[in-house]
Structure formats: C-alpha cells, structure tokens
Structure 1
Amino acid sequence: MEELELGLCGQGGSKLDSNKPLVQGSNASQKDKQNAGYRSGKRKVLFEKRKRIIDYALVMAIFGIGVMVIENELSSAGVYTKASFYSTALKISISVSTVILLGLIVAYHALDVQLFKIDNCADDWRIAMTWQRMCQITLELMICAVHPIPGQYYFELTILANKDKALGREIVPYDVALSLPMFLRLYLICRVMLFHSKIINDASSRSTGALNRMNFNTGFFLKLLMTFCPGTILLVFMVSFWIIASWTLQQCERFHDEVHANLLNSMWLIAITFLKVGFGDIVPNTYCGRGIAVSTAIMGAVSMALLIAVVSRKLELRRSEKLVYNFLMDFQITKRLKNTAANIMRETWLIYKHSKLGVNHGLLRTHQKKFLTAIYASRKAKMDQKILFNNANSITDMAKTQNDVYDIVSDMSSSKYAVIEQLTNLKEKIQTIQERLEALPEVITRSLTQHQNRVD
C-alpha cells in the first residue's frame, strides 16, 4: 500500500509535466518508480525514529515522576527541608528531564509532520500545521512542562470547615501544586503501546486501514484492547488510578490533617469513593482534596459501567453455543408437542368411552380436566417454539442470511446474462436460417432454368 500511495504521488508529479515530449515517457516512469521506492524507504525510517523517540519520552516522563515522588516523600518524612542541597539537586534533575522530554515531544511532532508530507506528497511543512495539530502540540508541551522548580516557595492553602476542623489557612510549598499535574505525563503510555502494537507495525494492516479510510489512532487501539483483553485493562487502570489518586490526596491533605498523613487512610477514602460507598469517616478538607474525590467518583462510575458491559458481554452465549442450545431446545419442545398431541388423543378417546359406552360421571370429569390441561400444554409448547424461533433470528443470522441471498441473486444475475447471450446467438442463427430459406425458391428456380436450358 505504501508503494501504491507513493506511486500515485509519482503519477501526480508526472501529470504536472504533461507538456514535455512523449519521448521522455519511459524515463519519467522509471524516475517515478525510483522516487516511490525512496519515499517508501524514507517513510519506514521516519516511522522507526518516531517510535524510538516516543520510547525515550516515556522514559524521561517516568523518571521525572519517580524523582518527584521521592523528593516529596523524603521532604515529608523530615529527612531534609525544601531549602537543602539534596532537594535542590533532585529538582534540578526533574527540570533537566523535563527539558529533554519537551525536546523529544517537539522531535516527535516534527517527524509526524514529515510523515504527513510523504503520505500526502506535500512539499511545504506548513501545510501539515493545522489548528488542530498546533493546539495538540501546545497542549502537550504545557502538560509536560509543569514540574516543581528548584527553590523554596510557599503559598496559603485554604482549609475548609467541617465537623472537626474550622475554616483556616496553611502555608504549603508550591511543590504540591506543581508536582501533582506531572502524572498527566502518563498519557505517553497509550502512545507507546500504540506504536509497539503489531497492528501498527504491520504494513498489510496499515494498507487495509488506508484502503478503508480508517486511521489507527489511540482511540481505535484502546477499543481493540477493551474488546480482546478488557479484564486486564480495567484491572490495571483501576489499580493504577487508586494508587495515584491516594498519593495525590495525601499530598493535598497532609499539611493540616494527621489522618491523611497516613497513606492507608487516603487509600481507604479513595476506595470507598470509587466504589460509591462513602462512609464519611474520613473527608477531604481542601479544594484540592475534594476535586480529587469528585474525579474519583466520576472515574468510579465510568469504570463500573465498563465493568458491567464487559461482564454482560462475557456472559453472553457465543454463536456456536447459541446454535447448540437452540437445537436442544427445539428437540425438547418437539418432544413436548408430540406428548401433548398423544395426551389429547388419549383423553378424547377416554371421554368418548365414558360418555357413550359406559357413563361414569366422576371419571368423565377427570378426563375432561386432563383434556383441557393437555390442550393448554400444547398451546404453551407452540408458543415456546415460536419464541425460540424468534430468538434464533439474531442480527448475525440475519446478516448471514442477507449474504446468502446476495450470493443467490448474483448467481441468478450471471445466469440471466448467460441465458441472454445464448438467446442472442440462437436468434442470429434463426435469422441466418430464415434468410437462407427465403433465398431457397430463387435458387431452385435458377437451377430448374439451367436444367431446362441444357435439355433444350
């Protein structure tokens, strides 16, 4: 497909030079083939470079997050203060990794623009810089640029009033506000998984997607993961979100509340909020903590909805299992219909026997009741058979039936064209025979005239 697209680019270039003499046609086509091969090779090289760059970017992002967590935990434990040399050194390493990360993101988008130029046969890189792409680049740079800066800076954090605490303010380092957004860098994990998947690395898969005008983006890749391994994805997501939200809640609340200084208490609050329980024994006292609690509740609702959808899909019978079940149920219902029909015939004979041959009112009423029961059982079996037949006609079966009907109609159309062709040939032959028959009297007259002349 890559060679096909690049070959079309070469043809487009040759059309621009249509005023040249036709003698140069063979040289132009050979040049287009060489150009297509060059473009295909360059596209492959750029794709590999982009994959390596996004790997390095994820490493830098995780390194910065890890150092940030270590620095905050050491300062919270009282190992050193924010003004110490160790804190400054760790923050400088975070800043260096952030600068490298920003450079890698810019390089990634530069390679993406070059791939766009190759795919669309564009010569100017500014054609690829749409408003959507520029907004995406700006947003990624803003997300990845946030990090705790070296130094000791503080601000006042508002403490909300509740049943145990009064309204007040606490002096909190700026590292709290600058450290928590660093977890947004983990969006790079989805991009790395996308570029390391076999679907993206396979040229045939990309060709099929290009022919169907489908873009292999992160959304499509996440849908595939939720289709083929939903349990693993939901488990990893919920555990990761639980740990990250618990740590961020602890950082927001630990400066004024000893309860949240313990990470296990924050994990308990996140867990009961995520599961929609909410005992109320531990509550957040800052806007930051309450925002994290609201985000946890929203993500819990989304995760529960996805979990219910996955479980319901897993509990649904497969098509082969459904066919076996329908076959067995149809066999059982057919047997019930035969039994009820036999009971109706038997009770009819017994009613006739006790009413005509020998009158026994007690047995007559008993068999009449059994006769009505057999009729009701027969009607119920027929209704069950109808319901089973309606359930068997699922969407997949209807699609299969539609495909079969389409194949039959196609065969009939081809047979119709063959019959029409044979009838046309037969008509031509009949016309030829008719023309010869019309010319036959003339031939006979001429032959008789010649014979008469010879006799005379």
Structure 2
Amino acid sequence: MGLDVVKDVKSRPKLRCKSIPARVPNTLPNSVILRLKTNAIRNRRLCIYLKCIFGAIGIVFMIVEGELFISKTLEKDSFASNALKSVISISTAILLLFIILQHKYQRRIEQYFNRHRKWRWCVEMIIEILVCIVHPFPGSMKIPKPLQTMSKESSELTRDHVYLDGYLSLFMIFRFYLFGQLISELLSSQLFSNRTLAKHLAGLTSVRLNSAFIMKYLLFRYPFKFVIAILMIVLITNSYAMQTCESYTFPGSEMTSFLNSLWLVMITFLTIGYGDFYPVSFCGRCVSASTGFLGIGLTGFIFSVFVHQFEMNRDEKYLLKFSKEEKRKQQRRIAASNVIKCFYKAAKSKGQKSKYQVWKVKFWKAVSVMRRSAKKCKYYHDIDLVDIQRTVQNIEKRQNEILNLLSHLRDNRMTDENSNTSL
C-alpha cells in the first residue's frame, strides 16, 4: 500500500506559480540546458550590439550624403552620392540580418522557458524590419511636389519635383530606438547579476523588466542627466528633420542652415514663436507641429523633475522637525525661568509698592507666555536623544531576557527528552 501511495504522489502534476516559467522537458540534462540558454543570451546580446553599430553607420552616411547635397557639393546623380547610398544599403541589409538573428535567439530563449508567444515574436520582428528597411536607395528617384503652402518665398524657390531621398532620410531617425535597446541591455547586465532570478521575482511582484523599467531606473538614478539627454535628442533630431524638409523642397531658403532650423525648433518647443523664421513646406510644418506637442508634454515633465529634486528627503525633514522642537522646548524653559525670576523679584520688592506692581505685571505676562508655550508643546512629541537612547537600551534588555528564556526552555526540553529516553 505504501508503494501505491508513492506512485500516486509521483504521478500527480507538480503545482507551480504561473509567473515562474517551467523548465524544458527532461530530454536534456539541466547543465546542458543552462549552457544552451547562456549561449543564446550571449548571442542575442551580441546581435543587439552589432545592430546598433550598423544602424549608426547607416545614419552617419545618410547625414553626410544629405549635408553634401544641401551644400551643393555633389548632385544626386553623381558617383559619390550613389557610393554613399550604396554603403547605407549594405549596412541596412546587415542590420536586417542581425534583427532576424536576434529574434531567432529570443525565440529560442523563450522556448527554454516554455513560453509560447509566437505571434508576438513575429509581430515585433516585422515591425522592427519595417522601421529599419526604409533608407535612401542608390539613384535619383523623384516624386511630384507634395502639397505646399503659397508664400512669397515659395513662389521664388519652389521646384516641380522633390527628391525622394529627403523623405526617406527622415524615416531613418526612427533607428534611434537601437541605442535605447543597447542602453537597456547594458544596464540590465549591470543591474541583474542573475537575470533568471530577477525575472522570477519580477513575475511574482507583477513587475515587467522591459525598456520602460530601465527608463524609470535612469530617471530615478540620474534625473538631471536623463532629462538633458532627452531634451538634446529631441532638439537635434527635429532640427535635422526641419532642415531636410525645407532644403529638399525649397533649396536656397534661410531654413537650409542648421542653426536657423535649431532656433525655429527651440522657440516652437517652448511655444513662443517670434515669427522671424517659419516653415514653408508641408513636411516642415508637420515637424513644427510635432515639436510643439512634444514641447507641451516635455516642458511640464522637466519642471516636475526639477521640483522633485528640490524636495526635502526623510533625513532633512527629521532634522528640521528636531530643530523646531528643540527651539520650542528652549522657549518653554526660558518662559518658566522668567516666571520664577519675576516671582522672586516681586517677593523681594514687596515692601516697595511701585516696584512690586511692576514686577507683578511682568510676572503675569511671563505666566501667560509660559502657558502659550506649554500649549504649543502639547501638539508635538518631544524628541530627545537621551530618550531615544533609553528606548534602545530597554529594547535590547527585553531582547536579552527573551533569549535567556528561550535558552532556558530549550534546556528543560532536552532534560525531559533525556529522562524519557532513560525510562
């Protein structure tokens, strides 16, 4: 019968928390599974690093090609322009390859944890590929001029066609999410020495270890640096987008200068708008509108961070409360001493009527002041370091008594057990 019970217990399914993933089926030893999982995590991290490198290469060559065209150093049909765009295409192809490899290793890691999220894995990979595949292709492709606003400047500088490279370059700005992934991976490896255990604890506490968690950590740990970095990224990327839109649509205008574009973006971000510069193209006005919306949101966010940094912490509040209560206690002692002094002076000058009346009035004033100070001290607990020390000593004394009592009970139990065994 005992063997049947043991078999029944072994045949029952093991209960586990839903947040803690199960292991891989027992087809492989645990050491082999751990080694495979470690290799997959290492390869995924390497793919993220290489993604960031080739994404940065494409962005750098895109900026160089665009600036050379805006400054009229080269034309779109020239060999140099096609060579630069060929380098961008090659780096983009390698970037897409590492995106696929990263998601492949990510899928393998999820299989080790028995997580079945294939549809989410496919959607994330497709979105990332669509974001990174857009880039200026070799050649000089042109499109009809999009909807533009008529003005004095547009009538003189407008062109019948617009190069498609300008609009494709704007979409490459979205590749900056690669740097976010890189920072997230670097900080994750530094924050969590045991990432598997951290994920288990996060599952138990309903915390998601994702990029949002890393952003919260950066905002909590480095608030000023994080806010300044976000502000600089927004201003520089929007300034480049504004310059590209205006330069490709209206070459020779004032907005082809990066400094003028930066000035326009800054005053739009702060919702000021002096009117000395303004976008003329439809694309530039879209960039200006997005900058205004970002300014409305980020300005309040920046001020809230600064205000939060100037708030008092717990130790500072305790020090302020302690100093205030010490000041009240000192005022109460001074008022009591004034009462005693006035009473003594009045009793001493009882034979002199004029002095006696003066000291009597001072005595009652001192009494009223002492009553007011005593009434104020009723609403506050007196904090004294001597009292705190005495309280700590009493707690330690009680703790020692409890430990002694427990040791005495343990000895009694041992003696009882020995007597029972002897019997």
TM-score bin (small chain): 0.7 to 0.9
Deviation, 1:382, is 2.9
Deviation, 1:48, is 0.8
Q: Distance in 2 between matches of 1:174 and 1:348?
A: 97
Q: Distance in 1 between matches of 2:274 and 2:186?
A: 43
What amino acid maps onto 2:128 in structure 1? Answer: E
1:236 counterpart = 2:225:
no
What amino acid maps onto 1:47 in structure 2? Answer: I
Deviation, 1:319, is 3.1
Q: Distance in 2 between matches of 1:281 and 1:354?
A: 85
Q: CA 1:277 to 1:349, structure 2 compared with 1: closer, same or farther past 3 Å?
A: farther
What amino acid maps onto 2:82 in structure 1? Answer: T
Q: CA 1:349 to 1:135, structure 2 compared with 1: closer, same or farther past 3 Å?
A: farther
Aligned to 1:181, which of 152, 165, 171?
171
Output one character per residue of 1:84-138: Cα deviation in whole Å (capped at 9) or x when no partner: 2222222222122212211211111111000000112x7xxxx4312x3332222
Aligned counterpart, 2:263: 268
Aligned to 1:248, which of 241, 246, 252?
241
SS in 1 for 2:162: strand
SS in 2 for 1:183: helix
Deviation, 1:366, is 6.1
Aligned counterpart, 2:22: none
Aligned counterpart, 2:145: 156
Q: Distance in 2 between matches of 1:163 and 1:388?
A: 76
Q: Distance in 2 between matches of 1:248 and 1:387?
A: 61
Q: Distance in 1 between matches of 2:342 and 2:151?
A: 79
Deviation, 1:157, is 3.1
Contact 2:235 2:262 in 1 (8 A): yes
Q: Percent identity?
A: 23
SS in 2 for 1:157: coil
Aligned counterpart, 2:104: 110
1:221 counterpart = 2:211:
no
Q: Distance in 2 between matches of 1:374 and 1:355?
A: 23
Aligned counterpart, 1:143: 131
Bigger Rg over Cα: 1
1:334 counterpart = 2:324:
no
Contact 2:342 2:362 in 1 (8 A): yes
Greater CA deviation, 184-193 or 202-211?
202-211
Q: Distance in 2 between matches of 1:344 and 1:110?
A: 85
Deviation, 1:296, is 2.1
Aligned to 1:300, which of 295, 300, 316?
295
Greater CA deviation, 183-192 or 267-276?
267-276
Q: CA 1:320 to 1:94, structure 2 compared with 1: closer, same or farther past 3 Å?
A: same
RMSD: 4.0
Aligned counterpart, 1:449: none
Greater CA deviation, 103-112 or 144-153?
144-153
SS in 1 for 2:289: helix
What amino acid maps onto 1:73 in structure 2? Answer: E
Aligned counterpart, 1:284: 279
Greater CA deviation, 168-177 or 108-117?
168-177
Contact 2:135 2:169 in 1 (8 A): yes
What amino acid maps onto 1:129 in structure 2? Answer: K
Q: Distance in 2 between matches of 1:72 and 1:202?
A: 42
SS in 2 for 1:78: coil
Count of matched residue positions in the alignment of Structure 1 and Structure 2: 369
Q: Distance in 1 between matches of 2:151 and 2:331?
A: 68
Q: Distance in 1 between matches of 2:162 and 2:55?
A: 25
Q: Distance in 1 between matches of 2:382 and 2:135?
A: 62
Q: CA 1:368 to 1:201, structure 2 compared with 1: closer, same or farther past 3 Å?
A: closer
Q: Distance in 2 between matches of 1:356 and 1:291?
A: 95
Deviation, 1:274, is 2.3
Contact 1:159 1:168 in 2 (8 A): no
Output one character per residue of 1:358-411: Cα deviation in whole Å (capped at 9) or x when no partner: 37899489648845872585267437x63999xxxxxxxxxxxxxx9xxx9xx9
Deviation, 1:176, is 1.4
Aligned counterpart, 1:70: 64
1:84 counterpart = 2:78:
yes
SS in 2 for 1:317: coil
Deviation, 1:340, is 2.8
Aligned counterpart, 2:4: none
Higher RCO structure, 1 or 2 (CA under 8 Å, sep 6+) = 2
What amino acid maps onto 1:230 in structure 2? Answer: P
Contact 1:336 1:381 in 2 (8 A): no
Structure 2 gaps, min length 5: 1-9, 15-24, 384-394
Deviation, 1:265, is 0.8
Contact 2:325 2:380 in 1 (8 A): no
SS in 2 for 1:83: coil
Contact 1:341 1:378 in 2 (8 A): no
Aligned to 1:58, which of 52, 55, 77?
52
Q: Distance in 2 between matches of 1:380 and 1:270?
A: 60
Greater CA deviation, 332-341 or 307-316?
307-316
Q: Distance in 2 between matches of 1:162 and 1:376?
A: 79
Contact 1:199 1:206 in 2 (8 A): no
Q: Distance in 2 between matches of 1:211 and 1:56?
A: 30
What TM-score do you get using the length of structure 2 for normalisation? 0.74
Instruction: Give matches, 1:402-417, under 5 Å.
Output: none
Contact 1:326 1:388 in 2 (8 A): no
SS in 2 for 1:386: coil
What amino acid maps onto 1:159 in structure 2? Answer: Q
Structure 1 gaps, min length 5: 1-13, 19-30, 390-403, 430-456
Q: CA 1:107 to 1:200, structure 2 compared with 1: closer, same or farther past 3 Å?
A: farther
Q: Distance in 2 between matches of 1:144 and 1:238?
A: 24
What amino acid maps onto 2:143 in structure 1? Answer: Y
Q: Distance in 2 between matches of 1:106 and 1:291?
A: 33
Instruction: Give matches, 1:352-371, under 5 Å.
Output: 358=353, 363=358, 367=362, 370-371=365-366
What amino acid maps onto 1:136 in structure 2? Answer: E
